[in-house]
A and B are shown apart, each in its own frame.
Chain A
Amino acid sequence: MGRPHVLTYVALTLLATAILAGVFFGTAEVSWADRWAALSGAADAPRSLSLIIWEWRLPRVLVVAVVGGSLALAGVMMQTVLHNPLADPYLMGLSSGASAAAVGAILWLPPWVASTLGIPLIAFAGAVCAFAMTLGLSLRRGAIMSPLVVILAGVAVSLMFQSLTAFFLYVGDPHATRSALGWLMGTAAGTAWVDLWLPLFALVAVSGFALLRSQSLDAVLLGDERAMALGIRVRRLRLVVFAAVALLAGLSVATVGIVGFVGLIVPHMARLLVGGRHRALIPLSLVLGALVLVVVDLLCRVILAPEELPLGVLLAIFAAPPFILILRRVRHAY
């Protein structure tokens, strides 16, 4: 078994452990026997604990794992097709569009509209709108779609929606503003089974596509022209990747709000461990993304329990040190 397989299995084992920890630990004070009984569905398990584990914690942990995996996978693909190590899933304005739509809905729309449509759907629509604007600004008939133009268009669209969000927050009602700020920092509180299926389906479909096209993605790392010389239709591949990233990141933002860091840094963690070939990089990135977010979500729940911290607050603090450690160790080899 090669090093990439070993590392992926190690990461999978750690992820399984983290998911169990995420299910077992929380604010409720209960014995270990009761926790096992509730998880295994034993008849004598306390009913309230079974409810907490099966209806609150387990779906929440799984949603967080799917979002972490989705953002890491989206980050890998964006960094590859844009030839840019600083690219992340939100680069095409997805998070800014989602933020402006969600904050605008929380602050300005009549409550019945927000509750009928739901903030996640409104946020997803905002993300798709920003994505369509960036894509529209980047496309030129017959041209290959320059990564630089996509990045600049994404920055312009992001800045526009960020200004809109800032305007909404500045003039909005202070009580509603706090709720909007909480959404902006990302939280998985209140997620249920119903929130899991769509992001999970998207993640399975996109990772299947990415693995099938892993050799084409490898070729793009050589440069657009080298990939074209190898017979790859780079423009078409780039468009499909952008659509896949919009789906993954849009659903992630809609489900738990804006979660940074994972889509930018986790692909680099995985690349430092197994190199740039996508057949190894995609599975490890996906598992590491899920692992990082599940661990950070658990910490968000227990550190100031019973208060809960937003994901964005703790993410960089706890995930950066392992990345720096890996970076230092790998760089010593050169």
Chain B
Amino acid sequence: MLIDPMIEISHLSVTLGGKRRVDDLSMTVQRGSFHGLLGPNGAGKTTVLRTLYRAQNPDTGDVYINGTAIDAWAQADWTRTVGALVQEGGSLQGLTIRDVVDIGLMHLPLSPAARAACANDALALAGLTELTDMEAALVSGGERQRTHIAQVLARDPDLYILDEPSNHLDLCYQILLLDEIRRRGKTVIATFHDLSLAARYCDTVTLMRDGKGVATGTPDAVLTRDNLRDVFRVNGVLQDGALHIEGAIRV
């Protein structure tokens, strides 16, 4: 039992399109820790995050953030507390990169000057200062991902919910931006496909398969040779924070 949990999920089940995507999952995330959700495609990682940021209603189960049920949050408190990096994208019609970051600051009690300063700092961190007036729909996939990460950084919420934050990013920005998020010391729950990145940044991880939690603990304890073989169908081992792959198992 954790002393100060930021996220508490209890017996969560979610069905999508007739398929059970999350099946009786229970987990907790300690305040201030960096928690990774790991698993193969279709394991239910994104569905758990979508439930956390209220884009998906659960069939059954309870989800609490900071001690409050997720459907009981007032909008202003929610905006201050929760920030999410989401995979799905909108049309971004007519929006510049600065607009996208600035929209994330709505409902925060900031003066116009403070709001502009927050946006400028985050844009600089994400290496977007030169591109602020570009149309967001016209930049590369990596630049757009950095824009959305900059939006979350500008808000600096108490809880970062990050769905595949390293998607589209080159190696430099993967390290730069995840280092920055880690440095801030807030609670983070993130999905990763790159297990080396997960091992580098996560204090704890939950391994999922077919919607169920298979194991939870430190990366060293969870990413064992047996779990890599049984869940990811690869032979390999985690050594000194780096994943050594010996090959995929033929199916």
Chain A interface (Cβ within 8 Å of chain B)? 79-80, 83-85, 142, 144, 215-216, 218-232, 271-272, 275-277, 281, 334
> Could you list some 26 contacts between A and B, CB below 8 A?
A79-B93, A84-B91, A144-B55, A218-B106, A219-B106, A221-B90, A221-B92, A221-B93, A221-B95, A222-B90, A222-B95, A222-B103, A223-B86, A223-B88, A225-B55, A225-B88, A226-B86, A226-B89, A226-B90, A229-B82, A229-B86, A231-B76, A231-B107, A275-B95, A275-B99, A281-B94
**A83–B106 contact, CB under 8 A?**
no
Contact indicator per residue, chain B 77-111, by CB within 8 Å of chain A (1) or not (0):
01100111011111111111001100110110000
**B103–A218 contact, CB under 8 A?**
yes
Chain A binding site: helix, strand, loop or mixed by DSSP? Answer: helix
**A276–B93 contact, CB under 8 A?**
yes
CA distance in complex: A85, B53 (Å): 27
CA distance in complex: A199, B99 (Å): 33
Contacts of B75 in A (CB 8 A): 231-232
A-B Cβ contacts below 8 A, count: 96
Q: Is B184 close to A, CB under 8 A?
A: no
A215-B106 contact in complex given A83-B90, A84-B91, A225-B88, C-beta closer than 8 Å: yes
- Knowing that A215-B107, A223-B88, A231-B82 touch, tell me 20 more A-B residue pairs with CB under 8 angstroms: A80-B93, A85-B93, A216-B106, A218-B103, A219-B103, A219-B106, A220-B90, A222-B100, A223-B86, A224-B55, A224-B90, A225-B55, A226-B88, A228-B53, A229-B55, A229-B86, A230-B79, A231-B76, A275-B95, A276-B94
**Residue from the set B82, B83, B94, B107 with the largest chain A CB neighbour count within 10 Å:** B94
Q: Which of B166-184 contact A (CB under 8 A)?
A: none
CA distance in complex: A224, B83 (Å): 15
Contacts of B88 in A (CB 8 A): 223-226
CA distance in complex: A64, B83 (Å): 45
**Residue from the set A80, A229, A231, A281 with the largest chain B CB neighbour count within 10 Å:** A229
Chain B interface (Cβ within 8 Å of chain A)? 50, 53-55, 57, 73, 75-76, 78-79, 82-84, 86-96, 99-100, 103-104, 106-107, 135, 138, 148, 161
**Residue from the set B53, B78, B148, B161 with the largest chain A CB neighbour count within 10 Å:** B53
Which of A221, A229, A281 contacts B91 (CB under 8 A)? A221
A326 to chain B, nearest CB (A): 13
CA distance in complex: A226, B90 (Å): 8
CA distance in complex: A109, B94 (Å): 47
Which of B57, B89, B103, B138 contacts A215 (CB under 8 A)? B103
